Amino acid sequence: MLNNVEFDLWADGYDKAVDISDEENSYPFAGYRKVLGTIYKIIAAKPDAVVLDIGFGTGILTAKLYENGCTIYGQDFSARMIELASGKMPHAHLYQGDFTQGLVEPLLAQHYDFIIATYSMHHLTDEQKVPFLHMLLRQLNPGGRILIGDVVFENRGQLEQCRKSAGDEWDEEEIYFVADELEREFSELVFTKISYCAGILSLTA
């Protein structure tokens, strides 16, 4: 896993690297724009939504939600990412912290209409994902939703097929979601496939 210094160094080139992968329909960011666009439309349909973004990066998605009138909270590992995102969202409530160790205290004091994580929660192990999601569900307002857009597969076979085709490009340090395995813990989980290596997971309070 990248440390905070490496995240800071990567921050300025992050958006360009993502765009290239998405345009080439290549792992890991094939379908990236559609993932973000789909999540944006869901949230934008609720006026004045309160949104928590976990691992918001440079704020590509949250900046659009901020412009649409959402109240934005967020946590990210990288001080440089926070600096870039704050420039787009001067009144957002952004905190630095390693979410693999949990949410920072100010974020635990709030409740949210939506909690989103795009291309960030693959830094959690499979063992960490389940209790983390249970914790996030407790932070939702009634009827609130968790929306996770990431490299995610319907089943383990599809993950292994992608791993094989990606070859040396496959990131062994990232631990991707497998929807049918997560459904064993969250029966209400909804998986929407976006590309061969991307999708959206939704959980409702």
- Which tens digit of pLDDT belongs to each residue from 38-62? 999 999 999 999 999 999 988 989 9
Note the pLDDT of residue 10: 35
- Cβ distance 176 to 151 under 8 Å? yes
Specify which residues 146 forms β-bridges with.
115, 203
Other residues' Cβ atoms within 10 Å of the Cβ of residue 68 = 13
* pLDDT bracket for residue 17 (50, 70, 90): low
Taking the CA atoms of 149, 151, 154 and 155 in sequence, report the sign of the dihedral they define. Answer: negative
Percent of the chain predicted with pLDDT > 70: 89
* pLDDT bracket for residue 4 (50, 70, 90): low
CA neighbours closer than 13 Å in the CB half-sphere of residue 146: 23
CATH code, domain with 189: 3.40.50.150
- Cβ distance 92 to 68 under 8 Å? no
Please report where in the chains the tokens 């960030």 appear, as a residue.
Answer: 120
- Per-residue pLDDT for 31 more than 70? yes
Average pLDDT value for residue range 173-196:
97
Between 84 and 176, the more confident residue is 176
- Per-residue pLDDT for 154 more than 90? yes
- Cβ distance 110 to 50 under 8 Å? yes
- Cβ distance 147 to 42 under 8 Å? yes
Other residues' Cβ atoms within 10 Å of the Cβ of residue 97 = 16
- Number of domains comprising the chain: 1
pLDDT tens digits for range 136-152: 999 999 999 999 999 99
The parent domain of residue 140 ranges over: 4-204
Average pLDDT value for residue range 185-194:
97
Other residues' Cβ atoms within 10 Å of the Cβ of residue 72 = 22
Average pLDDT value for residue range 93-109:
96
- Cβ distance 198 to 33 under 8 Å? no
Rounded to 10°, the helix 32-44/60-67 angle is 30
Strand residues in the chain grouped as ranges (E): 50-54, 71-76, 93-96, 112-118, 140-150, 152-153, 177-178, 190-195, 198-204
Amino acid at 95: Y
Which tokens hold the place of 23? 């345009």
